[in-house]
Structure 1
Amino acid sequence: MSRFLIVTAFRAFAFCLVALGPAQASTGIALIIANETYDNLRGARGAAAVLRTVERLEAAGFRVDLATDVSAGAMQAALSQLSRSLTEQPHERVVIVFAGHVLNASHGTWLMGTNASQPNVASVEGEGVRLATVLAIASQRQGGAVVAVADFGFPLSGGAGFSPGLPAENAVPQGVTLVRGGAPGITDFLRSLATPGVTIGSLAGRRSDIQIEGFNPPYLTFLPVGHEPVRDADRTAWGVALDADTVASYQAYLAEWPNGEYADQAQAALTRLLNTPERIETALGLSRDERRSIQRDLTILGYNPRGIDGIFGAGTRGAIGAWQGANNLTQTGYLNRDQVFSLAQQGAQRAAQLEAEARARQQAEERRDRAFWRDTGSGQDEVGLRAYLREFPDGIFSSVAQDRLDQIEADRRAAAQARDRAAWDIAVRADTVGSYNDYLGAFPNGAFADQARDRIAQLRGPAEPQIDEGRARATEDALQLPQFTRVIIEQRLESMGFEPGPADGQFDRQTRRAIRRYQRASELEVTGFLTQPIVARLLTEGVLDLFR
């Protein structure tokens, strides 16, 4: 099965490097460059004959790369790719073939690209590739390297010290065989070279039109007797694994072919798939409680996970991604171990900061509360009590003030005349400025005169902000707080000095007042009802207290 790889062009029209055979061959790798048509020179007619060796080399297990009618730059690119392949992959043998025009001088020999014209000392490096470079690349596989040159000479007369064709002798690196001759002889040599059990020397001896330089051991075969390329079963199994591109498919290939030709590639693919963000988070094995803690941390930091239920849905993934972006991390929506620790640390720091701010505000509010209580008579008269409750309806002394006012009103009602009391009840039921003025007109010194005037002042004063109690209650009900969570919240409010009453999980009037106190201290909307962020803060602050 063949595959095609397009490589960058280095001339005005496209240069195509074609890789034939498996991505990793069992026998070795071959690069065949056939330059028959030149842009500015007479063509090297017959150079393409070397392409007839492809099928024999493939059958012997070589990976064959072809480059036809290419410039010097494209030849360099193909040779560079070959050099990388020899460095990165365990090819045992390498065969490099060039067919085309050749030029030599005292300072080097060049295999000419199709962009060649009449080179000089300055331009020759851009019009051809040094034979020494090709031999150096081949020397990476000493003892298994063949460089074959089908020499077509050079169609123009030599100038500036240049001569056509290869020189009589060439400096060949140790372990490299240089075969030179015409295209027919080189083609026949290469086809025979792919036969197991033959020696290079015996092949050269069969034809008078080829010569060998460099490595030529008399008894060493290029391909051993009985040589067989990788069986199709390995390649087929690799193709199945590659098409599926899953962890299971690569594991199945490695189980069947642990030392196969593609084992390294399969292992690399496994590493790639196993290191996905989702798999990394799954490997952490986060418990339901740990996931709730992560959601609480996100809430504390201002990222809404849409619930603290231990289930990482779209809301939590979005919140994680937003947090990652704010911290210059890749926004995957999944956490690794370091990110879990970092998020927990940030959540703890923010919770501590919020608690410290709330404590400072609470302390300042308590100081103002106590000062106002003192300045209004410490609850010794009705005017002071009412002034205190108007300023601090949920203050430290609000229960005492309300109890005393209740007693004052009870005493007043007991002492009031029936008519006075009835008139007052009428005014209260109407609860208008007019109704209270009517009462004062009838009882200017009545038992409830001061209350009437206070109420008139309230009705004429700025309107209190209206709280949508139904909506606030519905928001709290939607949280579906279990009994033990309510008890923890009451205990937390008590520890902070907000006096919620008994920690029994029943949110009564005292509890609502404590919640309102907490909301004021935390600069939150004062409703007396809980929201998800408030619950998260209370529970997180409670956990922090355990470690103090």
Structure 2
Amino acid sequence: MRTAGLALAGFLAAAPAWAEFTTGDALVIGNARYGETVTAFGPDAVQAVARALRLRGQEVEQLANGGAVAMQQALDGFVAAIDEGETPLIVVLSGQFASVDGGPVLRPAGRETSKAAGLSLAAVLEVLAQSPRRAFLVLGEAGEATALEALEIPEGVTVIRGPAAKVAEFAAREMAQPALPLEKSADWYGLALSGHASDGLAVLTHTEVRPPSEAEQAAARDRIALLDETAWQRAVESGAFQAYLDSYPQGLHAEAALQMRDGAPAISPAKAEASLALDATARREIQRSLTQLGHRTGGIDGIFGPGTRGAITAWQRQSGTDPTGYLDAAQVARLAKEAAQSPAPSAPRPRRASNAVSAQEAATWNMARGERGLRAYLGQYPNGAFAARARVKLSNMQRGSGQ
């Protein structure tokens, strides 16, 4: 469990007050768009719930209108963030549920029709069972929810169910209130409670509010940008530009997605690059070329996130072309030619991409317990996939010890 003292310089206090601040982990997925149907608990509700939980110290993975791959990535990110013994664990899922051979699933948003491609609730419950009596699954039902009747709840896990609109309001308000008895607050919204439900059970128990630190906010922005870029690449490959806009209405590629969805004649830099249909191999080669020329991309993983876009922009400025952050066919060829003629760079090794973690690094991170373990990890992997998270934890520990 991560615990740290938090110095709170209150408006009415002359000296800082110290309080123990315990954090847990949460996953919030709200699917509101199914074909032409739009239901409750969309992007605004996801953001409201995630913000309420973050203010109470929860580390939150969030996703709105996610496809099958995006939902699995969000679940994987939630699992990777959990430290041994950390509580509470909270998963909020809203949308249409379906029944498959493996049990109920949350259906992906958009026009996908395969029920088997949904997010398995059995897999979610298996994760939550790691924290008995402090694990909560909150389900917002959009439409028929008969599939949830077959839900098998592990011992010690609490399940809260109800209409999506009611769950959205409950999760953003009463659920995030500390020490509020769950039975009473769920009853206010007409929600059903099953599984573990002891007297006085509350989802959150600490009383202090701590806005996310700068490091935590930066890490969250990086994760969102990476998911945004991944979703855009899938949209380009499949032509599902509306699905991208459903998940990222204000996304990095929203303008290009609108143009390509509507077949607009204007060719934006993003659309010109998209027309090249660069596959993962071609994208990795571009990243290698940029790195060879001394521009740090943040990793050679085939994903054009903020690091790669920044490297492209820097190279374009250096080359005297319009710094759009996107490439056309001529620039791809020119970049490859310049890299082939360039000697090996003397710049530091580029930062490892978060989704390209070696087994050795993963093992080192899993063993990083306490301040000594975190410092040992950072000493070995200063730019590793978990470096930002390690620094956040160290910062919390230092604030707690008064350093």
Q: TM-score, normalised by structure 1?
A: 0.34
- Normalized per residue, the structure richer in strand is 2
Q: TM-score, normalised by structure 2?
A: 0.46
Which structure has the greater CA radius of gyration? 1
Could you say which structure has the greater relative contact order, defined with CA pairs below 8 angstroms and 6 or more residues apart?
2
- Normalized per residue, the structure richer in helix is 1
